[in-house]
Amino acid sequence: MLTFAVRRLLLLIPILLGLSILVFLFVRALPGGPETALLGERSTPERIAQVRAAYGLDRPVHEQYLSYMGKVVKLDFGTSIQTQRPVSEEIARRFKATLELTGAAILFAVLVGIPLGFVAGRRPQSWIDNLSTVGSLLGIAIPVFVLGYLLKYVFAIKLGWFETTGRQNVAISTEHPTGFFVLDGIITGDLPAAWDAFKHLVLPAIALGTIPLAIITRITRAAVQEVSNEDFVRTAEAKGMTKSVVTRRHILRNAMLPVVTIIGLQTGLLLSGAILTETVFAFGGLGSFMASSVFTRDFPVIQGGILFIAVVFVLVNLLVDISYGLFDPRVRNA
């Protein structure tokens, strides 16, 4: 397993190098530039030339790229054109919000999807199986932003159970030692602040977690059905093993490999694809910040954010591959 992990980490280098080249060229192929966003109606050829010189945009592309990568290896992603703060600081501050939202969304998807998929797989063609099938199709078909607005209208505006925007009420003043608002309220003993942060987190987490929930349910159902028809399961049942033992040792353990894979993939996708959810709920995470950076042509933020998300995505999938050893001893010995 150690050799496998090291090999995957080494493969990260050419992957990120190729991605950095593509992102660098793509960003500079966009119409306009940061000088247009900064100057607006005040733009003149002279002022545009000054801004381009200040950000090094007047140099050849290959020189810009080499200069940029020389800073990246030192974890210096440059300075944001929007906020005039280091991009690394902006990523570190805003990624905590995205991570909190993603963690809540994937937790919701796993806690509901695996049990629902298991029951549906063990009882094919039953009402719960048909219900899970229809629900999964709806979960995948409904766009995230549409579901987000529906949830806000019903549960926040009409019923008043949850909050509509932000991470916490602006009137609440509390410490944030970790940057995860729900956890911070618990750690500092400020339970009203923790509860308020939780109320802000529920709706965006459900909106973001609906598609992973549908996929996890379908994958779990298919895996459980396939494993339940294997000879070793029927042999275990014929030997008189209790239903709980057969379920835990033979069905769940063998059915979890594809489920763990899809959970890892969905976690990586959620970390990189929470832009719409964060925008609808004004959650203030990395996704919404990068979306605004596209409109302002904030090259350092776009480049640094994409590279950071790529690293996180690859590391998440590496952890998933390593976790296979917990379910399949053959992987541990590979």
Q: Identify the CATH number of the domain in which residue 144 sits.
A: 1.10.3720.10
In a domain, 83, yes or no: no
Statement: residue 325 has pLDDT above 70 = no
Q: Please state the rounded mean pLDDT for residues 34-49.
A: 66
Half-sphere exposure at residue 150, Cβ-oriented, CA atoms within 13 angstroms:
9
Half-sphere exposure at residue 15, Cβ-oriented, CA atoms within 13 angstroms:
16
Statement: residue 332 has pLDDT above 60 = no
Q: Which of 104, 317, 141, 130 is CA-nearest to residue 221?
A: 130
Reported confidence tier of residue 272, pLDDT bands at 50, 70, 90: low
Statement: residue 40 has pLDDT above 80 = no
Q: Please state the rounded mean pLDDT for residues 252-274.
A: 78
CA distances from 162 to 53, 112, 191, 267, 310 (A): 48, 20, 16, 24, 33
- pLDDT score of 108: 92
Task: Tell me, yes or no, whether 15 and 129 share the same domain.
Answer: no
Q: Please state the rounded mean pLDDT for residues 19-27.
A: 80
* CB contact burial 147-164 (16+ within 10 A = b; e otherwise): bbeebbeebbeeeeebbb
In a domain, 82, yes or no: no
Is pTM beyond 0.85 here?
A: no
Q: How far does the chain reach from its first CA to its final CA, in angstroms?
A: 6
Statement: residue 254 has pLDDT above 60 = yes
Q: Please state the rounded mean pLDDT for residues 266-289.
A: 80
Task: Tell me, yes or no, whether 100 and 8 share the same domain.
Answer: no
In a domain, 98, yes or no: yes
Task: Tell me, yes or no, whether 95 and 179 share the same domain.
Answer: yes
Structure tokens at 244: 């709980």
Reported confidence tier of residue 314, pLDDT bands at 50, 70, 90: confident
CA distances from 327 to 218, 246, 254, 257, 258 (A): 20, 15, 7, 7, 11
Statement: residue 143 has pLDDT above 70 = yes
Share of the chain above pLDDT 70, in %: 85
In a domain, 78, yes or no: no
Q: Please state the rounded mean pLDDT for residues 314-334.
A: 66
Q: Where is mean pLDDT largest: 111-115, 238-242, 265-269, 275-279?
A: 111-115
- pLDDT score of 196: 87
Q: Where is mean pLDDT largest: 131-135, 146-150, 168-172?
A: 146-150
Give the span between the Cα atoms of 282 and 170, in whole angstroms.
13
Residue 61 CB burial class (10 angstroms; 0-12, 13-18, ≥19)? exposed
- pLDDT score of 330: 58
Q: Are 100 and 286 in contact (CB under 8 A)?
A: no
> Which one of 46, 72, 98 terminates a domain?
72
> Which one of 15, 39, 72 terminates a domain?
72
Task: Tell me, yes or no, whether 63 and 106 share the same domain.
Answer: no
Statement: residue 114 has pLDDT above 70 = yes
Q: What is the span of the domain harbouring residue 258?
A: 88-332
Task: Tell me, yes or no, whether 155 and 33 share the same domain.
Answer: no
Reported confidence tier of residue 263, pLDDT bands at 50, 70, 90: confident
In a domain, 16, yes or no: yes
- Mean pLDDT, the chain, rounded, equals 79
Statement: residue 268 has pLDDT above 80 = no
Q: Please state the rounded mean pLDDT for residues 109-113.
A: 90
Q: Which residue has the higher pLDDT, 198 or 168?
A: 198
Q: For 147-167, write each residue's pLDDT tens digit.
A: 888 988 888 888 888 888 888
What domain count does the chain have?
A: 2
Pick from 55-59, 206-210, 294-298: least confident: 55-59
In a domain, 81, yes or no: no
Pick from 28-37, 79-88, 126-135, 268-277: least confident: 28-37
Task: Tell me, yes or no, whether 132 and 234 share the same domain.
Answer: yes
Task: Tell me, yes or no, whether 64 and 92 share the same domain.
Answer: no
